[in-house]
C-alpha cells in the first residue's frame, strides 16, 4: 500500500502519528486540510510531502472549477501548501510542477483532470526513482555490514519503497546479510516509531538505540557506514536533514566511517549556493515537552524550548550523495549540477 494515494476522488494518507500502535488511513477532500496534514505530520518525509502537495493541488483545482476560478484558487492553494513545511524542497518543487502544468491548459475546466494525471505521474515516478536509487546505494553496502540510520526514510517517507531505507531494503533483497542500528530520532521518535516498524515488516534485522548512543557504537567499531535521507541539498553539497544528522556526520568522519545521504534529484536545490541558505523549520515546543518519563512531565512548567526540525551537515563531512542517477562525489557542486541540473531546468520551464 502506498503512503500517499488518490482513492475515489480524495487523497488518502497513512496517519503516521499513530504508528506503530495503530494503522489508520485518513482521507482529505480539500487543500487546506492537506496543508494541515503536512504541518501536523500526518504525512512526513520530503518525497511523500511533495506527492501529498501535488494531490492537494488537484483538490484545489476541483474546488476552483466548481467556483469558476481555477487558476486563482490554485495560486492561493500553492501559497498555503508551500507554507506548511518550508525546509523540504520537494513540497515547493511539486507545487510548482502542478501549477506550471495548469498554466499550459487552454480550457480552465480541463485543468482538474490534467492535474490529476500530473500528480499521479509524479507519484508513480517517485516509486521508480526510489528503486533506481536503491540499486546505486546498495552497491556501497557489503555483505555483513552494520548501517546506522537516522529518522525514517522508508516507504512511509516516500510514496513507496524509500530512499536510505530503500537502499537498505535493496541490499537485503539482494541477499546481503546486514544489520541496522536505528536512532530513536527525538523529539518525534520517527526512528523508534516508524523505521523500527518498517524494518519489522520487511524482516530486516535491527537494533534500536538511544540517539546519544550513536557515538559509542561508531567509536567501538560497530558501525560500517551511515545512511540518512535529506529534505534539501544545496548546490555545494551541504545537506539539510532531520535534527541530529550533523553530529552523526562529524562523529562518523572522526571514526573513518563513510556517511551517505540518499536523495532523489528533486531534493537537490541548485538555486541555493550553500546550506546557510536553507530555511530551517522551527516546530512547536510541545513536541519536546510532551514526552513523559515514568508518567511524569520531563521539564518544569514554563520551560523555554528551542525545537529546530532540521540541521545542516556541511559538505566536508559527506562521503557521497546517492541519487537515482548515480552517486555524487566531491567536488559536489560539479557532480550535483551534472546529475540534477537538467531535471531542474526542465521543471523551471513548465
- Active-site residues, by number, are 231
DSSP category for residue 42: S
User: What does 69-118 look like in DSSP terms, one character per residue?
Assistant: -HHHHHHHHHHHHHHH-SS-HHHHHHHHHHHHHHHT-SSGGGHHHHHHHH
Is 199 in a helix, a strand, or coil? helix
- Residues 81-103: b if buried by 16+ CB within 10 A, e if exposed: bbebbbbbbbbbbbbbbbbebbe
Rounded to 5 degrees, what are φ and ψ at 256? 70, 30
User: What does 138-155 look like in DSSP terms, one character per residue?
Assistant: HTTPPTT-EEEE-S--BG
Distance, CA of 80 to CA of 83 (rounded, Å): 5
- For residue 188, CA distances in Å to 77, 148, 152, 165 come to 28, 18, 11, 18
CB-based contact 281:86 (threshold 8 Å):
yes
Output the nine-digit C-alpha cell for 254: 572522526
Burial class of residue 68 in the structure, from the number of CB atoms within 10 Å of its CB (0-12 exposed, 13-18 middle, 19+ buried):
exposed
C-alpha angle 236/170/199, rounded to 5°?
A: 100
- Nearest Cα to Cα of residue 278 among 348, 334, 231: 231
**Site of grid cell 518525534:** 188
Amino acid at each position: 500500500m502506498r503512503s500517499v494515494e488518490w482513492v475515489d476522488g480524495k487523497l488518502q494518507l497513512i496517519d503516521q502519528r499513530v504508528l506503530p500502535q495503530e494503522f489508520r488511513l485518513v482521507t482529505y477532500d480539500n487543500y487546506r486540510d492537506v496543508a494541515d496534514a503536512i504541518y501536523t505530520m500526518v504525512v512526513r518525509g520530503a518525497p511523500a510531502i511533495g506527492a501529498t502537495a501535488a494531490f492537494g493541488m488537484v483538490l484545489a483545482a476541483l474546488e476552483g472549477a466548481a467556483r469558476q476560478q481555477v487558476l486563482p484558487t490554485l495560486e492561493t492553494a500553492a501559497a498555503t501548501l508551500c507554507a506548511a513545511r518550508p525546509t523540504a524542497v520537494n513540497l515547493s518543487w511539486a507545487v510548482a510542477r502542478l501549477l506550471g502544468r495548469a498554466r499550459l491548459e487552454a480550457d480552465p475546466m480541463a485543468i482538474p483532470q490534467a492535474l490529476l494525471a500530473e500528480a499521479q505521474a509524479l507519484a508513480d515516478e517517485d516509486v521508480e526513482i526510489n528503486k533506481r536509487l536503491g540499486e546505486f546505494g546498495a552497491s556501497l553496502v557489503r555483505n555483513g555490514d552494520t548501517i546506522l540510520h537516522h529518522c525514517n526514510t522508508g516507504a512511509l517517507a516516500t510514496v513507496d519503497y524509500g530512499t536510505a531505507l530503500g537502499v537498505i531494503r535493496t541490499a537485503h533483497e539482494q541477499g546481503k546479510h546486514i544489520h541496522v542500528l536505528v536512532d530513536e530520532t527525538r523529539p518525534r521518535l520517527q526512528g523508534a516509531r516508524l523505521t523500527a516498524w518498517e524494518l519489522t515488516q520487511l524482516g530486516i534485522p535491527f537494533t534500536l538505540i538511544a540517539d546519544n548512543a550513536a557515538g559509542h557504537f561508531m567509536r567501538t567499531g560497530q558501525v560500517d557506514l551511515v545512511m540518512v535521507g535529506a529534505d534539501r541539498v544545496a548546490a555545494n553539497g551541504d545537506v539539510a536533514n532531520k535534527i541530529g544528522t550533523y553530529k552523526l556526520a562529524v562523529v562518523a568522519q572522526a571514526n573513518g566511517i563513510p556517511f551517505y545521504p540518499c536523495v532523489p534529484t528533486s531534493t537537490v536545490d541548485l538555486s541555493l549556493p550553500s546550506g546557510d541558505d536553507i530555511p530551517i523549520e522551527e516546530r512547536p515546543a510541545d513536541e519536546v515537552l510532551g514526552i513523559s518519563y515514568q508518567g511524569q512531565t520531563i521539564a518544569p512548567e514554563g520551560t523555554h524550548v528551542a525545537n529546530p526540525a532540521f540541521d545542516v551537515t556541511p559538505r566536508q563531512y559527506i562521503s557521497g550523495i546517492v541519487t537515482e542517477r548515480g552517486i555524487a562525489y566531491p567536488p559536489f557542486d560539479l557532480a550535483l549540477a551534472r546529475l540534477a541540473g537538467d531535471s531542474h531546468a526542465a521543471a523551471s520551464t513548465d
